[in-house]
Chain A
Amino acid sequence: MAWLRDIDAWFLAEVLPHAAAYRARAAHFCGRDEADDIVQEAYTRVLGTGDFRAIKVPRGFVMTIVHNLAIERLRRASVVRIDYLASLEVLELADPAPDAFTVFSARSELIHLLKLIDDLPPQCGRVLHMRKIQGMAPAQIAATLSISLSTVEKHLAKGLALVTRARRDNNAQPEVACQTIPKPKRLATN
């Protein structure tokens, strides 16, 4: 896509695929409700980085940012579960292998997307299907359905927004994997 900068393409390829892991990490500290917020903030920091090419391990880089943001919030929060605070340092090392989070295989992702399109309002799903699966040009779709080009755009935008948000929700699914993070040693010895 011509309208993606290098950093966007990099972000898409290296950062976003691990969304579930970031979210799980954030949720572990701050709960689901705040997890999205933290991950989004981490993303803005990453995209704000000038020399993204210097980042050798994007996943680890983002995990660290998420981790720090989460701890920052936790410390500011008025009520903090004490075991979390005690475990902060240990968790620094506890990024499970990416495999633990790749719950959704490429194929199931596609099946999920099909289902999503199916669940869209009919005309919206139809337009998205014509554009992305049948590969029809927007003008062609407009002519075929006898609607204006701007209506085609609106349907595409609406469908795309719904799919984007649903993919976010989908990424939230493997959160349970987070439970496998080992119990902090400090708690065990104290």
Chain B
Amino acid sequence: MPDNPETETPGDELIEVAAGWLASLDAGSGDLRAFEAWRDADPRHAVAFVEVAGAWDALSDLKHLQESAFEPSATPKADDAAIPADAAAGSRRTLLKAGIGIGVLALAGGGFAYRAAARDTASTAIGQRRKIAIGSAMSVDLNTDSKIYWKDGTPLRLWLERGEIAIRLLTGMSLSLITQGGTFLLSAGLYNARLRDESCELTIIAGQGRLGQNRRIVTAGETALATAGQVSLQRDNSDIGRVTAWQSGTLILNGESLDYALAEMNRYLEHKIVIGDPSLSRLRIGGTFDTSAPYEFLQALQTTFAIRSHRDGNGGIVLTRA
């Protein structure tokens, strides 16, 4: 610690230390007594910590604001590359000043412009499910680890940013569903949309739609896979129940490989299940499983195939032959 408080400039490094404490306390890895000892050692420490706590609180208030400022940019990866961390830090002050200027200008222009550009958003964490009513015309169910944006207008616009959703659209409404695979135009009906790699898989349970300018109308019972604006179709009516099973918290397997089963199950689990013995991956699994109770799934593996499970150091679950 510096011995000469007279010459020490206030705080930048103290702010960093205090922020480090708060982050570790927040993550549950910080030692509370060590923290208290640090804070009580010097009132400047206490000041720095309160300032950091103030920023932490203020950030919490952002939850209540529209998330529009966080609309993902079209090329997030390019962004990453464009701002090397060091360069960004070096010019931070300049950036901040510029930021303040922009903020003030936006305000002078009025809150309306801001609001008009805003999209509403909803998301779920891993293992969560959530139902959102959007106006009186549409409701959306979000499966685990999903995120959507939407915006009023004609047609109503809905962005599927991550994960999987079920859409219920009332009569007389049309919807533009914007995904990484392409944009679907949908009429009233029931739909299930799921992102897979670079594509979006849209299953029409009721209603109809088409992808972009494609002439081919996708009808009930069909599943359209959209990739880079191109669509491929398949029809398998027996699949509909499986596609929508997640809405009741279940996973239906019908002879899929254990690999596939785990990939599906893991979508709902923070601590993923992995195969510890490669020879297991080709086992075929059937049954209906509760996605919120991986224990039952593991139990079934144990009783049916004598597959054992144990936790690894990071909380993940590893499957091996008994």
Q: Are A36 and B270 in contact (CB under 8 A)?
A: no
Q: How far is the CB of B267 from chain A (nearest CB, A)?
A: 12
Give residues 120-174 of A contacting B (CB, 8 Å): 120-124, 128-129, 131-136, 138-140, 143-144, 149-150, 152-154, 156-158, 160-170, 173
Number of contact residues on A: which range applies?
A: 35 or more
Judge whether A140 and B125 touch: CB under 8 Å.
Answer: yes
Tell me if B51 and A16 are in contact (CB < 8 A).
Answer: yes
In A19-41, the 8 Å CB interface with B consists of 36-37, 39-41
Contact status A118-B69, CB under 8 Å: yes
Establish whether residues B49 and A162, one from each chain, have CB atoms under 8 Å apart when the complex forms.
no
Chain A residues, Cβ within 8 Å of B11: 40
By the criterion CB–CB under 8 Å, are A153 and B23 in contact? yes
Return B182 CB to nearest CB of chain A, in Å. Answer: 25
The stretch of B88-96, B202-210, B248-256 that contacts the partner chain: B88-96
The residue that B55 contacts in the complex, of A110, A115, A163, with Cβ under 8 A, is A163
Separation of A138 and B30 alpha carbons in the complex (Å):
13
A131 to B62, CA, bound (A): 11
Cβ-neighbour of B56 out of A118, A154, A160 (below 8 A): A160
**Number of B interface residues, CB 8 Å?**
71
Give the shortest distance, in Å, between A38 (CB) and chain B (any CB): 9
- The reply to whether B69 and A164 contact each other, CB–CB distance below 8 Å, is no
A157 to B9, CA, bound (A): 20
Choose among B51, B63, B89, B106 the residue that contacts A135 (Cβ–Cβ < 8 A): B63
Contacts of A162 in B (CB 8 A): 92
Shortest CB distance A7–B (Å): 8
Q: Choose, from B40-48, B189-197, B222-230, B293-301, the stretch at the interface.
A: B40-48
Q: Contact at A132–B12, with CB atoms within 8 Å?
A: no
Question: A107 an interface residue at 8 Å Cβ cutoff?
Answer: yes
Contacts A12-B57, A119-B99 supplied; 13 other A-B pairs, CB < 8 Å: A3-B22, A47-B46, A48-B43, A112-B99, A114-B65, A117-B70, A135-B63, A138-B27, A149-B27, A156-B19, A157-B20, A157-B24, A164-B18
Pick 14 A–B contacts, CB within 8 A, sort by A: A3-B25, A12-B53, A39-B10, A110-B61, A111-B107, A112-B99, A112-B100, A118-B99, A134-B123, A153-B23, A163-B59, A167-B51, A168-B51, A169-B93
Task: Identify the B interface with A (CB < 8 A).
Answer: 9-12, 15-16, 18-20, 22-29, 32, 35, 42-44, 46-47, 49-63, 65, 67, 69-70, 76, 79-80, 83, 85, 88-89, 92-93, 95-97, 99-100, 102-104, 106-107, 111, 114, 123, 125-126, 145, 270-272
A interface residues with partner B (beta carbon < 8 Å):
1, 3-4, 8, 11-12, 16, 36-37, 39-41, 43-45, 47-48, 106-124, 128-129, 131-136, 138-140, 143-144, 149-150, 152-154, 156-158, 160-170, 173
